[in-house]
Amino acid sequence: MIEVKSVVKTFDGFAALDGASITVPDGGVYGLVGPNGAGKSTIIRHLTGIYRPDSGEILVEGAPVYENPEKKALIAAIPDDWFYFQSATIRDMMKFYRGFYPAFDMARYEKFRDVFALSEKTPIRRMSKGMQKQAAFWLTMSCRPKYLILDEPVDGLDPVMRRQVWSLMMSDVSEHGTTVLVSSHNLRELEDVCDHVGIMNRGKVLLERSLTDLQENIVKIQAVWKPGEVPVLPRELEVLHSSNVGRVYTYIVRGTAQTVTEKMGQFGPLMLEALPLSLEEIFIYELGGEHYAVKEILL
Amino acid sequence: MSWEVSTMPSKRSFFNATLFKKHLSRFWPLWGGVSLVGALFPLYLLLALIQRTAGVIEGDIFREGLYQISACFVPAFTFAYAILCVMAVWGYLYNARSVGLMHTLPVDRTCLFLTNTLAALAMALIPFAVTGGLLCLIALGWGFFDLVAVLNTVLAVLFCTLLFIGLATLCAMLTGHTFVLPVFYLLFNFLAFLMEILTTSLAHEFLIGVPMMEGTGRLSFLSPIVKIYNSFSVYIERPARGVSIIRLQGLWVVALYALAGLALLALSWLLYKRQHSESAGDVVAFRWLRPIFRYGVALLSALTIGRLLYELMWRPLFQRGDHAQALPMAVCLFLGGLIGYYAASMLLAKSRRVFGKKSLPGVGIVAVGAAALCLLVSVDVFGLERNIPEPDEIASVSLVDRGIESGPYSIADDPDQASALLALHRAIVDDRAYIRSYVPDWDQEEGKAFSHYLYLTYRLKDGSTLRREYDLWLTRGRVETAGTYDSMLAAFYQDPVVRLSDVTIPKGAELDSIDIFCAYGGGGSIYTNTADHAEGDDRETRQIYAALQKDGAEGNIPAKDVLCRSNAAREFYLDLRYFTLNRDADSFYYHSKTVYLAPSMTNTIEALIELGYVTVEYVERWKEELAEQETTGTEIYGDVVYAETSTVPAG
């Protein structure tokens, strides 16, 4: 299990992490989402042992990860800006990784040669961004990490390769119990793979739940009221957002579909329907209260 | 497959072979190229031996060659090459992406540090191993191998490499920017030396006697490359034909620096363990170092740019007298410091927006610092101006007077003369207010004030040197007043021992030849060198010198006239050319000493007539003219002619 406890990290007075806490359970896929500058990459750099927190704890299996080779050997990461040596080929980098990661699986590396179809002898710097990303996956997954940490992992990959990569990761999760922490802006993709989600903003984790909990605790209600009888909803109904198109009113309300439907039914709507929210919608409406609403600007 | 099988807990490791090999394989063009160039020298020697153009090489020549390489080439080469090796292995610290990879790897920083340091040392030593190994093979093959010399050379190489790798590694830890690393490295090697020169130079502007560009040397140990070149050399003595004593002098100094290099590596390791990865790209890697950097750059800038401002904008336009004015100097130092302060702030902030209100406290500190620096130096808080060594501290003292072409007088073992010079020095220091304020009035004092530039050099028993330079004016009135420096200098020249030393070459020097100048009488100038005249026979040189010594012993040498009244004497003089061996006895330096003849020097004049350099008629006319000048009181001004010249023969 990965635990981040009240971590603070400041850069020249700016708090990139301001008491952030997350808990990543073993054997699942944890999606870390948040707007640009929320602190996702900073928390990932802490998890991989690059940064040392100003205060707080970063624990992997109960032990601090910073300067702990034993725990770092369990982790492999693909950062957004993956580094390779200037003239290195995939094979060169494979030899490098193999010298550090005790669990590096050469047989797996050989198998991945067919999956990724990249030349092992071409310098990585000559490859396209997407090919470099594939190379990063090839090498990282050959390390057979127990914890796989990914920052914008499929950015730059074509749709087929995206699906391929996700498929490989999910098979690792199901077959080997790999724990994946993934940070991405592609919420539609995360929704398909994540079982836990943490939403970050301004260095803090706003909420952290299983995706099921999250989706069950926020609901989209579409209602049609009698003409001239649009009710003022009570405060106990935690409405995050409301809008209307003609007589059709849409409400985003915190609560289970059943509870919210029951309460709103008391106002006598002509029609009332509860719809599930996508992760993207949850993200947008949750952050709306954090001064991060989509601004309707006409240019 | 279970994780418990594939990720067995590993033992703590202090070395990673993969990283070590990666460094060597990535940077092979660096150490390979240098090794290749180094290998050319043994290859050349081999070809020369095969072609029999190298002559017969014996053990002594091999040893001398190795030692010369150790003392002259190795320090400079390792100084330059070590920084490249360190930049290669620590380059990842200066890029956020690369530092991300390296610090994600499952090794701790101790392991990374040791592996990187060993890789840097290996890269630094491989070229020496290649070149040295080939040389040794050739030496063994041709029978001039010398094990002791090889071992000493190996030690010198190891010591220098440890020192400079240690120093460069420390610099690598202190910065997060590739381009700043070599700048730090240069500064660390020369900063103490540079600061001493700059502060002495500033003191020279305010204080009398303090040389312009010379430090005490007491801080030179903080500038390793300077200290090594001052202390580490080859000693060669050839007591008899075919017998040579060749050894490395000062290897222990380099050994001490190697220990310092190890200490620097330990310090670097501690710093690396504390260094934040996010400092990649920063000019300085540690927060606590920022004010030191900011105000250090401001100080350096004040002492260089500030001084330049003063020299350009104030001295030629507004300054009166030779000494600087404190307030304008303080303003210039402040302006120079301000430039450095903001430049450093821009580098630290990686932004040009550093001129806001937040910078004002720093500006205040720079202003106070400039004022304090000027005040401290101008009122001589550290007593530089008043610094006169105690008699029991002095090993030797020498005086050179550029004003009337006298000296050097080395009076190591004459306590009376040492006391006289100390008294003279005290009188100069006591009269410093007068010296500072005196400006000759040419309308009133033409022919009555004479310039002397005195160099006093004390070699102290603690091994240090104290030098003082005084630009003095001597006047007739003060020469006749007891207790003034003018009268003491005149009295010094009256001393028979000083008068004898005027015609005597220094101890240990070899007389080479004597130039004779006689431009008197309108009959054309005479210039002859005894070596040319006697076609290589030095008998005539010895005869003239013996005559001079005889004149000295008989008290025939007139005392120097500190008011320079006898210009006619200038037209008849001798230049004694002599040479001294340097301390390694492998090269020598030529010097000359000018001796102005006086009619009282009868033995010398007779010798010159006897040897045919001048005629009796010339001498008689010269004497008559001198007598006439004495009668009419003709005087000349004390112009500056260098009495002591040194030349280094080519090769």
In a domain, B328, yes or no: yes
| B426-477 tens-digit pLDDT | 999 998 888 888 877 666 666 677 888 888 888 888 877 888 999 888 888 8
Tell me: pLDDT of B383 over 80.
yes
Q: Are residues A43 and A166 in the same domain?
A: yes
Using a CB-CB distance cutoff of 8 angstroms, which residues of chain B are in contact with residue A85? 22, 26
Claim to verify: residue B558 and residue B602 sit in the same structural domain:
yes
Test A99 with B97 for CB contact under 8 angstroms: no
- Mutation to test the B interface, candidates A44, A46, A72, most B Cβ within 10 Å: A72
Nearest to A73 among B1, B10, B22 (CB): B10
Query: Among the three residues B338, B357, B378, which one is the final residue of a domain in this structure?
Result: B378
Residues B457 and B564 in one domain: no
Q: Do A85 and B22 touch (CB under 8 A)?
A: yes
Q: Say yes or no: A53 and A16 in one domain.
A: yes
Residue B6: pLDDT band by 50, 70, 90 thresholds?
A: very low
Binary contact (B19, A67; C-beta < 8 A): no
Partner residue opposite B108 with nearest CB, options A50, A51, A69: A69
CA–CA–CA angle A13, A14, A20 (5° rounding): 120
* A96 and A169 within one domain: yes
CATH code of the domain containing A115: 3.40.50.300
Helix ranges restricted to H, B17-58: 17-26, 28-51
What span, in angstroms and rounded, lies between the C-alpha atoms of A167 and A177? 14
Look at residues A144, A177, A210 and tell me which one is the last residue of a structural domain: A210
How much is the mean pLDDT over chain B?
A: 84
A80, A83, A172: best mutation site toward chain B, by most B Cβ within 10 Å? A83
The pLDDT of residue A229 is: 81
Element (H, E) at B435: helix B432-437
Minimal-distance CA residue of chain B relative to A136: B101
Tell me if chain B has a CB within 8 Å of the CB of A69: yes
Average pLDDT score over residue span B586-601: 80
The per-residue pLDDT for B9 is 44
- CB–CB of B565/B636 below 8 Å? yes
pLDDT of B646 higher than 50: no
Contacts of A91 in chain B (CB under 8 A): none
Query: Percent of chain B having pLDDT more than 70?
Result: 85
Q: Phi then psi for B556, rounded to 5 degrees?
A: -85, -10
In terms of domains, do A206 and A221 share one?
no
Residue of B nearest to A98 (CA): B18
Which residues, 6+ apart, have CB-to-CB distance to B409 below 8 Å? B398, B399, B400, B417, B498, B501
In a domain, B165, yes or no: yes
Residue A296: inside a domain, yes or no?
no
Nearest by CB to residue A70, choosing from B1, B10, B99, is: B10
Note whether residue B163 is domain-resident. yes
Count the neighbouring beta carbons within 10 Å of the beta carbon of residue B17: 10
Domain assignment present for residue B588? The answer is yes
Q: Are residues A77 and A194 in the same domain?
A: yes
Q: pLDDT tens-digit profile of B307-340?
A: 999 999 988 888 877 788 899 999 999 999 999 9
Tokens of B524: 């054309």
Instruction: Clarify whether residues A200 and A228 are in a common domain.
Output: no
Please tell me whether residues B126 and B22 are part of one structural domain: yes
Q: B378, B400, B434 — which closes off a domain? A: B378
B370-375: Cβ within 8 A, 24+ apart:
B370/B302, B370/B306, B370/B330, B370/B331, B370/B333, B370/B334, B370/B337, B371/B330, B371/B334, B373/B202, B373/B302, B373/B330, B373/B333, B374/B326, B374/B327, B374/B329, B374/B330, B374/B333, B375/B326, B375/B330
CATH of the domain at A224: 3.30.70
**Structural domain boundaries enclosing A260:** 217-288
Contact A256, A221 (CB under 8 A): no
CA distance B571 to B554: 24
Local structure of B174: helix, strand or coil: helix
Q: How far apart (Å, rounded) are the C-alpha atoms in residues B320 and B274?
A: 54
Amino acid B539: pLDDT: 87
Phi, psi (rounded to 5 degrees) for B511 = -75, 130
Chain segment A152-172, per-residue pLDDT in tens: 888 888 989 999 999 999 999
Instruction: Say whether the peptide bond before residue A25 is cis (omega within 30 degrees of 0).
Output: no
The tokens for B396 are: 């030797």
Q: Tell me which chain A residue has its CA closest to the CA of residue B273.
A: A67
Q: Are strands A196-201 and A179-183 parallel, antiparallel or unpaired?
A: unpaired
Picking from B1, B105, B276, the nearest residue to A100 by CB comes out as: B105
Mean pLDDT of B205-218: 78
The Cα–Cα gap between B274 and B284 comes to 14
From the list B7, B18, B26, which residue is nearest A146 (CB)?
B7
Write out the residue range of the structural domain in which residue B520 sits.
509-647
Cβ B100–A48 below 8 Å, yes or no? yes
Residue A64, strand partner residues: A59
Q: Indicate whether A25 and A144 sit together in one domain.
A: yes
Is B238 part of a structural domain of the chain?
A: yes
Task: List the structure tokens of B386.
Answer: 């008043």
Whether residue B340 is found in the same domain as residue B442: no
What pLDDT shows up at residue B391? 83
Residues of chain A with Cβ-Cβ distance to B277 below 8 Å are 45, 50-51
Q: How many domains does chain A have?
A: 2
Q: What ranges in chain A are assigned the alpha helix state H?
A: 40-47, 69-72, 90-98, 106-116, 129-142, 159-176, 187-193, 211-216, 257-265, 279-288
B11 confidence band (pLDDT: 50, 70, 90): low
Mutation pick from A50, A91, A93 vs chain B, by most beta carbons of B within 10 Å, is A50
Three-state DSSP state, A224? strand
Element (H or E) spanning B449, and its range?
strand B449-460
Give a yes or no: residue A42 inside a domain: yes
- Per-residue pLDDT reduced to its tens digit, A246-262: 889 999 998 888 999 99
B161 within some domain = yes
β-strand A196-201 against A204-210: which pairing, if any? antiparallel
Q: Residue B108 and residue A67: Cβ atoms within 8 Å?
A: yes
- Has residue B121 been placed in a domain? yes
Q: Do A85 and B16 touch (CB under 8 A)?
A: no
User: Which residue among A69, A144, A177 sits closest to B106, beta carbon to beta carbon?
Assistant: A69
Predicted confidence band at B584 (pLDDT cuts at 50, 70, 90)?
Answer: low
Domain count, chain B: 4
Looking at the structure, tell me whether residues A227 and A189 fall in a common domain.
Answer: no
A277 and A178 within one domain = no
Residues B246 and B119 both lie in one domain:
yes
One domain for residues A222 and A204: no
pLDDT at A295: 54
Contacts of A68 in chain B (CB under 8 A): 108
- Over residues A209-233, the mean pLDDT reads 87
Residue B536 is predicted with a pLDDT of 59
- Please answer whether residues A265 and A272 qualify as being in contact, where contact means their C-beta atoms are separated by less than 8 angstroms: yes
Listing from the earlier edge strand, what are the strands of the sheet with B572-581? B526-529, B510-518, B572-581, B588-596, B645-647
What is the pLDDT confidence band of residue B260, given thresholds at 50, 70 and 90? very high
What share of chain B in percent tops pLDDT 90? Answer: 42
Look up the ipTM and state it: 0.89
